[in-house]
Each structure stands twice: as C-alpha cells, then as structure tokens.
Amino acid sequence: MSDSAQQAAAASDLKQVTRATRLKELALKNLFLTCACVAVLAVILIFVFTFWKAIPVITDIGLGEFFGLTWAPTEGRYGILALLAGSGIVTVGSLAIGVPLAVGCAVFLTEIAGKRLAGIVSTAVDLLAGVPSVVYGFFGLVILRPLVAGLTGGLGFGALTVWLVLAIMIVPTITTLTMDALRSIPMGIREASFAMGATRWQTIYKVVLPAAKMGIVNAVVLGMGRAIGETMAVLMVVGNAPVIPGGIASPLSTITSQIALDMGYSSGLHRSALFGMGVVLFIISASLVGIVRAVSSARESGRGRSRHRRAKAADRAVVAGGVNFDHAEAPAEHAPAQMLTADDVTPVTGAVTEAREGSRARIKRLLAEGAKGGGNKNRTNDLMLGVFRAAGIVTTAVLVVIIAFVAVNGLPVMSFDFIFGWPEGVNAEGGIFPTIVSTLYVTALAMLICTPIAVLAAVYLAEYAKQGRLVTFIRYAADTLSSVPSIVMGLFGYAMFVEAMGFGLSMLSAALALALMMMPIVMRTTEEAIRAVPRYIRWGAYGLGATKWQVVSKIVLPSAFPRIATGIVLAIGRAIGETAVVLYTMGQAINLPLTPLDSGRPMTIHLYQLANEGINMQAAYGTALMLMLMILAFNLFARYISRRSASKSKGN
C-alpha cells in the first residue's frame, strides 16, 4: 500500500474514532441531563399526585368551605383555616425565639470566639442539626411539657411548648447559614471599622450585620420552612385540637400534625382533604424557595452592580489622573467620550478639596464625642458581647441537656438483649433488633437508589451545564425538593409507590420516597465538591488529549470523592432520623424484612409509638439513645472524612 493510501486510511480511522468519541460524549451528557431532570420530574409528580388525590374534596365542597374555620370530619366539615392559623402561630413563635438565639450564636462563633472554642460550639451546632425530630418531640413531651404545665397551670400541651421545641430545631439551620453569610464579608471591612475607632459591637451592628443582611434573610426563610413543615415533634406536644387557640397554653393543631394524626384511619373526602392540606403545604414550601432564590439573585446582582460601580470609579480616576491640563486630553487608552477642559475639571477638584476639609471636621467632631461617651460605648460593647456569648453557651447547653436527658435514662436499658432481642407482648417489652434492621435496610436501599442519580446530576450541573432557563429550573426544582415537608413526601409516597405502582407498604416504597429526600443533599454536596477541584488539573488533562468524560471520571470525581462521601454520609444520617416519610410508606408491623417488598417498623416509628402510648418509657429512652448514637456516629464520621480530606489538601 502506498504512503498516500496509508495516510488516507489513517485519516479515515481517526475520523471514525473522533466521531465515536463525540457520540459517546453526547450520550453521556444526555444521561447526566436525564439524571438532573429527575429532580424536576419528582417535583412535578409530587404536585400532580397530591393534587389529584385532593380533587374530590375540592369539587365536592369547594375552595370556600375548604378554607373555612371548622375541621370536623365526622360532620363532613373540612375547613383548614384553624389548622393554617395553628401552623402560622407555631412558626412565628418559634422564629421569635429561635432567630435571635441563632443569629447571636452565629455572631459569637464568627466574630468573637477563639478558633478552638468556635470549633467546639460549631460541632455542637452540627450535632444538634442531626438529632431526629422525633427525639426533639420526645424531649418536649417528657421535659418541656411538664415545665410549661407548671408555669401555666394546664397540661403543658400547646403553643408555648411547640415554640420551644421548634426553636431548638431551627437554631442549627439558621446558625449555620448565618455563619456562612458572615464569613463571606471581607475582613478588610472589619479592619477599616476598627481603624476608625469603632468597638467590636459597633462593627458588628453597623457594618457586618448590614453587609450580611441578605444571607441572614435567606437563613431565616429556610428556618421558617423547617418550622412550617415539621410534623412528628409538633404532633407529640401540640395538643391536637383543631381550633384557633385562646392563649399560648391552649392546645391547637397544625396542618402537618393533623395529616399525621388522621391519615391512618381516614377515607373518602376525609383523606382527600388531607391530601388537599398537602397541596397547600407544597405551595407554601415552593413559594418560600422562590423567595430565597429571589433574595439570593438580588444579592448577587447587587454585588455585580457594586463591582461595576467600583470599576467605573476606578476608570474615572485613571482618566482624571491622565488629563493633560494644557491640552485637556486624556491618554488614548482611557479617552473619555468627549474632550475635557480645565473648566470641567476645576469644579471636581474643588469639590474634592471641600469634601476633604469637611471630612477632617467631621472626624474631629466624632473623636470629641467619642472622648465624652467612651465609657458608655465600652459598657455597651461589653454588654452586647456578653449577649452573643450567652447565645453560644445556650446553644451548646441545649445539646448537652438533650444528650444527657436521653443518655441518663437510656443507658440503664442498653444491653445485649435489648439491642439484639425481639419485642415482646404488645411490642413494648424485649428488644429492638428488628427495628434496627428495618432502619438500616431502608436507608441502604434508599442510598443505592439515590446516590448514582444524584452524583451524575451534579456532574451535569458542575461540568456540562451552561447557565440558562433549564439549569435555573433544575436548581429551583432541587431546592424545592429539599424543602418539601416530610409529611408531604410521605403522602406522595403513599399515593404513587404504595397505591399507584402497587408496591404496598414496603421497604421499596419507603426507600423510593427517602431517596427523593436524600437526592438534593447529595446533589448539592457533590456539585460543590466537583467545583472545588482546581481548574488547572482539568486543563492539564485536556492538554494531553483527554476527553471530557475521561477528565471527569479519572481526575475530577476521584479528587472530589472525600467531599462526595461526606455528603452521602450526611444524607444517610438524615434518612435514619426521618419519621413522617416512612410513616405511611413502610408500615408499622414489627418483622425482619428480607426482600424490598417486605414491610417493617423503623426505629423512629417505634420510638413514637412507645412515647405516645406511654406503655414502656424505659424502652422509649433506650430506643432514643440507640437512634441518636447511630446518627451521631454518621455525623462524626462525615466530619472526620471532611477534615481528613482538608488536611490532605493542605499537605499537597
């Protein structure tokens, strides 16, 4: 074969290889896009299935009566206004208690505490976030309710107890997000404030908090979503009276607690009304996500405008500095739109001189005032710093009290027979081994379903996607999916997986619902992990002729694996502590599940049943302790992976 023929054959082979590579890359990109669109599909299906189940009550009684005041299913009255009012009351009250505590704790950790103390309290906040809601409810039922009863003279069920429980629950969320917002403020702004003679409190109040305002609003809105959507903790202490309460000590009910209370025995229009409540909750959650995204967008655009203004100011300074006053001409690279004259520049320089003189006078006045009021300023500074320290101490103390409460009462119950034994009698005696197996089984199954989809979706968003409407909608869907109240996810799981798909009350139905709750967590952490991989590593691989997928699979994902694993472990901890999702998808029968279609009772449901019925409180303490130990172990393992990865990165 001649040289020209060989060259032609080689060129043909290269074209075929290039074409095959392009087709493979296109197929992989479409696969990743499909995985990312699962979040969009899930949000659509949640709304469609819950709304479809709510249609009978809407068409039968109409929206006017549905939003009426009276909830009395036995009389055929399905008004949810009192329940909506109850949800609003407990949310506003919990925010009034939790927001100052959370923001104060965040300020303490970022602006006041030393590095070691901040690390200890931050760990406490993270662990507090991992405590299951049913344990919070158990704590409220056994500890807070009697305290409130002693103060108010009633039974202790009502708004005040719910406020305290929910405030404790939302503090970790708001604290963590507020810390992120405060840490995003450049240190130079603080240093400039200190250089002007401001105290630490004045710097925090006048400079740092206003600069972080948008991020704090974002944190509060997300905390509000958590409070509105909470189910099991509220159910255990609210009193479950579907009326507008007469006072903070009066029993009431919320949308979430009423759904959980009635779903097990409801039918017909009654059940349809419960799904209608789910639709209302879903719309509220989606609206809150929209508000958060709008605030975040405004924050980013504000930063962009600020950078643009600074750039224009710098340009004007360069132009002014380059003006030739003899010829009124700027250098060519900074030429203004029209020629400047000395008459144009003189008013500007005069204004600058006047501003300088005014600034000197103002500084002298401020120094004089500071000299007179220095004592008051220092006293105020000490007082407010003490308030922030108290917020950090209270947050840490709450975790210590909850752990001590469960540990002191649960440790005497812990034994080999309790952990590996089977329940006896009315399931209140004996051990909890089947519930442990059911919990780990459904969590592992959910992880196997969730992880591949979430990781590939994150790969698309981080490596392949271009900013546009589709990507914006995917991110909105993922945020909405993460904020869907667990009881709404349970309703959707019951409607779709248990009934429509025919899986029944089973491990598979519960795992599919849990996978949808875990997916946004894994997606977000994986995307952040991928984006944290330095860009120059990719450039080097591309320079050697690697394809996009080769770079992602051989370099990016292995480099990001520790942080991806951290996100997966955190999602597992969230799934283990979930109650409302599995309440009507997994069943409550105590048995040892062998196949995905078997039913079972998870530990969270077992704890709820024991605490609610009050048959064997010692077994409830032991179950709560075992549940907390499992979740704390997963959270500590996640922190270990994260710190080990960070230390390796510093070492390299």
By percentage, how much of the chain surpasses pLDDT 90?
25
Q: Within 10 Å of residue 35's Cβ, how many Cβ atoms?
A: 21
* Closest C-alpha among 533, 552, 571 to residue 460: 552
320 confidence band (pLDDT: 50, 70, 90): very low
Between residues 118 and 322, which one has the greater pLDDT? 118
Cβ proximity of 341 and 329 under 8 Å: no
Residue-level pLDDT at 534: 85
- According to DSSP H, which parts of 67-114 are helical? 81-107
d(CA 522, CA 571) in angstroms, rounded, equals 7
Residue 252 has φ and ψ, to the nearest 5°, of: -150, -175
Span of 165-169, 200-204, 425-429, 544-548 with lowest mean pLDDT:
425-429
pLDDT per residue over 277-319, tens digit each?
999 999 998 888 888 788 777 766 655 554 444 444 333 333 3
Q: What is the spatial distance between Cα 649 and Cα 652, in angstroms, rounded to a whole number?
A: 5
Instruction: Examine the pLDDT at 175 and tell me if it is beyond 80.
Output: yes
Query: Is the pLDDT score of 345 beyond 70?
Result: no
Place of tokens 């812990």: 414
**What residues pair up with 41 in beta bridges, in sequence order?**
none
Distance CA 508, CA 498 (A): 9
Q: What residues pair up with 424 in beta bridges, in sequence order?
A: 429
pLDDT of residue 4: 60
Buried b (16+ CB within 10 A) or exposed e, 595-612: ebebbbbbbbbbbbbbbb
176-194 pLDDT per residue, tens: 888 888 888 888 888 888 8
Supply the Cα-derived Rg of the chain in whole angstroms: 30
Q: According to the model, what pLDDT value does residue 133 have?
A: 86
316: Cα separation from own chain's centroid = 43
Beta-carbon contacts of residue 429 (< 8 Å; ≥ 6 apart): 423, 616, 619
- Judged by phi (left if over 0) then psi (alpha if -120 to 50, else beta), residue 262 lies in alpha
**With bands split at pLDDT 50, 70 and 90, how would you rate the model's confidence at 47?**
very high
Distance CA 107, CA 389 (A): 9
Q: What is the pLDDT of residues 77-110, one digit of tens each?
A: 899 999 999 999 999 999 999 999 999 989 988 8
Confidence of residue 340 (pLDDT cuts 50, 70, 90): very low
- Is residue 1's pLDDT more than 60? no
In contact, 588 and 609? CB cutoff 8 Å:
yes
- Predicted local distance difference test score (pLDDT) of residue 24: 82
Helices of type H across 339-432: 342-410, 416-420
d(CA 180, CA 185): 9
Mean pLDDT along residues 5-31: 68
Q: Is the pLDDT of residue 639 over 80?
A: no
- In the prediction, which pLDDT does 357 show? 54
Instruction: Identify the three-state secondary structure at position 114.
Output: coil
Average pLDDT over residues 591-610: 89
DSSP H or E stretch at residue 628: helix 617-651
Which domains does the chain show, CATH number per domain?
80-258+382-413 (1.10.3720.10)
State the pLDDT confidence band at 590, using cuts at 50, 70 and 90. Answer: confident
Q: Six-digit token pair at 348?
A: 């500007």
Residue 53 has pLDDT above 90, yes or no: yes
